[in-house]
Structure 1
Amino acid sequence: MDIYSLVGFVGMTCIIGAYFYLTASKAPNPFILHGTNLAGAALLTVSLLVHTNWPSLVLEGFWAAIAIWGLAKAIRTRNAISPDEPQP
């Protein structure tokens, strides 16, 4: 196993961990959820650039885009909370 495969396994672990976190949590923190998904997609992309599998590479692009959209949505939601309310 080379370093790129190891990086890919770490990315896979991030994505599976984020899915478990979403399923197990009553109120998952969107920054943890989407941030972990984005990290996993980035790590898997590194692996896929060396060990190219085009369908999986495209999938990771969409996975990262959705995670970025989720993070942006979480930031907008956090910023919309009035200053008198506690931040999550």
Structure 2
Amino acid sequence: MTGLDTAAMVGFAGMFCIIAAYAYLTWNPAPNPFVLHGTNLLGAALLTVSLLVHTNWPSLVLEGFWAAIAIYGLVKAARERRAKAREGAGR
């Protein structure tokens, strides 16, 4: 077994972000979608960096989907925030 290099440490940071986002979603009755999806996106990006050095194709593809879902969630949350702001301004 080899020691942990920088890429592996970056991967562990990404893993922590994804686990923290899942815990946040589970424990918070009204999670902020920007925190949730932003943390997931950061985690996917960090894990991708690690996987580009220590290639594991199934995990790399998984992180691509994970990032795409997080980006979709961020876009959806931004659109909903804008729609609510327009509704509030129209009153």
Pair in the same fold by TM > 0.5: yes
Divergent runs of 4+, >3 A: none
* Distance of 2:6 and 2:61 partners within structure 1: 21
Q: What is the one-letter code of the residue matched to 1:22?
A: L
Q: 1:13, 1:60 → 2: CA distance? A: 14
Gaps of 5+ in 1: none
| 1:42 corresponds to which of 28, 41, 45 | 45
Q: 1:15 aligns with which of 11, 15, 18?
A: 18
Amino-acid identity (%): 72
1:61 aligned residue? 64
Does the residue aligned with 1:46 lie in a helix, a strand or coil? helix
Q: TM-score, normalised by structure 1?
A: 0.94
CA RMSD of aligned residues (A): 1.1
Tell me, in whole angstroms, the C-alpha distance in 2 between the residues paired with 1:65 and 1:25: 23
- Unaligned residue ranges in structure 2 (runs of 5+): none
Distance 2:70 2:82 in 1: 18
Selected match of 2:88 from 77, 83, 86: 83
User: Whole-Å Cα distance in 1 between the matches of residues 88 and 34 of structure 2?
Assistant: 20
How many Å separate the matches in 2 of 1:83 and 1:51?
Answer: 49
1:18-61 deviation digits (Å, cap 9, x = unpaired): 00000000000000000000000000000000000000000000
- Aligned residue pairs total 85
Q: TM-score, normalised by structure 2?
A: 0.91
